Amino acid sequence: MSVLLSDVVSGSAVGLRGRLWRLSAAELRAAAVEASAEILRLEAVRVAVVDELSMRPDDQVIASRGVGSWLAANTMLQVRDGKKIAALGAALRPFPAVAARFDCGDCSFDHAVLIVAFCESPPKGMPEEALPRCIDLLLAAASGVEATTTKVRHVIATLERVFESDEIPPAEDVDLNELRIASTLNGRVVVRGDFDALTGEMLLSALSNLTMPTPAPDGTPDARSAAKRTADGFTELIRRYLDCAKTGSDGGQRPHVNVHINARDLAEHRACAAAPSDGGEPRSDLDVGHMPWLGPLSVSQTRLLGCDCFLSTVLLDAHGAPLDARPGKRLVNAEQRVALIARDKGCAFPGCTCVPAWTDAHHIRHWANGGPTVMNNLVLLCRSHHRLMHRKAGFVGKWEIRMGVDNKPWFIPPPSIDPGQHPRPANTTFKT
């Protein structure tokens, strides 16, 4: 690190903006990463110090009604934030593995909060001996630069479904559903609802195509906010239902909900997260029921849906990757799209959280260059990453996609991003 770059990270921000022009783009990126790592380090230091102070409070802390309130009173933090810091320090004490990962800066504050919350209130159906393995799974999802809150929540939700108890999970309890519709003084209507995951899945699926951005007639981008597009889509959904009702039709068949589950897990699921596989290695995939929009679904609910639904058969290989044997066409058919969603679960590009409904099927080797329309030459990408793969204007370098020995896509970044060009797994491959 150059002297100037070192000053940027360790020095004051006063007057810094006037000096940053001297740094190259590579140095600016390095400074941003280094500053972020320093923030994580100092965050861990603060949690440890505050926790120690909470166990040995002096008169000032006692007078402030707790260490969290004292911290807020002596810093620019809000009281709720000071209490969250104190609470995390206390919560980490019984879980040294989580504390160690947090202290070394490989797990963010928010991710540590999620993990200890799961550890303190594990699923009622989870045996005590499974907790260390579950902690390993959660830390794997929360560690490294590719960690996202979505991944951590996905693993938590999956573990809650794997270790089902006789009680209905809150996400599937229809008795908790509420929808309040009230008129306001200015003649408008306020809608507030709280639904189970399956109802939410149906609603999001029905709204998906109706809430997509639509360019104006002159080609300019859609200026509506996401909330406005959702409101417009909901209005159109109601209008279509009423139009259908006028004709005397019952609306046709019910909305489809796609749920993916491995047959093995449908039969034997309760201890699959804690038990090793047949080869003695821990399992890397937690395959319970999975919905494209709202993620994991309990096996009992999946069985219930399986009694009254249309089923699309997807053949899977030993790695759980769908197979395909129809290469003679350019466009992906409905069966292939179902298989792609089962494999990629949305945009496969590392770090992307785009849902399946907003993705395109991309030919890894272009059709015009002889690339067949088969599973090992297809990958789901959102429109932004699809454009990137076709050399987005102004982007230096080119990402490559290769199918791994697991029959799943791997992404090779250009040298401008990773000089070593180390392959990165698809976004939905949760390494555990």
**What digits encode the pLDDT tens for the residues 39-95?**
999 999 999 999 999 999 988 888 888 899 999 999 999 999 999 999 999 999 999
Residue whose structure tokens are 């934030």: 81
Classify 406 as helix, strand or coil: coil
Q: What is the pLDDT of residue 96?
A: 96
Flag whether pLDDT at 272 surpasses 60. Answer: no
Beta-bridged to residue 108, according to DSSP, are none
Q: Given this model, what pLDDT does residue 44 score?
A: 96
Confidence of residue 21 (pLDDT cuts 50, 70, 90): confident
Token pair, residue 300, equals 């009992």
Which position has the higher pLDDT, 263 or 45?
45
Measure the CA–CA gap between 161 and 296, rounded to whole angstroms: 7
d(CA 431, CA 297): 20
pTM: 0.69
In this prediction, residue 396 carries a pLDDT of 53
pLDDT at site 278: 47
Residues comprising the chain, all counted: 432
pLDDT, tens digit, 9 for 90 and up, residues 297-330: 776 677 666 555 555 555 556 666 665 544 555 6
Per-residue confidence (pLDDT) for residue 249, from 0 to 100: 39
- At 347-404, the pLDDT tens digits run 999 888 888 888 888 888 877 677 888 888 999 998 788 877 876 545 556 888 999 8
Percent of the chain with pLDDT over 70: 77
- What is the residue whose two structure tokens read 């909470």? 54
Give the Cα separation of 406 and 362 in Å (integer): 19
pLDDT digits (tens, 9 = 90+) for 155-184: 998 898 888 777 777 788 888 999 999 888
| Cβ atoms of residues 315 and 407 within 8 Å | no
CA dist 102 and 34 (Å) reads: 17
- pLDDT the model gives residue 80: 92
Distance CA 203, CA 208 (A): 8
Residue 268 is encoded by which pair of tokens? 């034997």
Q: How many Å apart are CA 304 and CA 168, to the nearest integer? A: 13
**pLDDT for the residue numbered 308:** 52
The helix (run of H) or strand (run of E) holding residue 410 is strand 409-412
pLDDT on residue 248: 47
Q: What are the CA-CA distances from residue 406 to residues 27, 95, 274, 280, 316 (Å)?
A: 37, 34, 22, 18, 11
- What confidence score (pLDDT) does residue 279 get? 46
Confidence check: pLDDT of 242 > 90: no
Angle at alpha carbon of residue 373, lines to 371 and 378, rounded to 5°: 85
**Band of residue 266 on the pLDDT scale cut at 50, 70, 90:** low
Cα torsion 392, 394, 397, 399 to 10°: value is: -20
Amino acid letter, residue 5: L
Query: Residue 31's closest CA among 41, 43, 23?
Result: 23
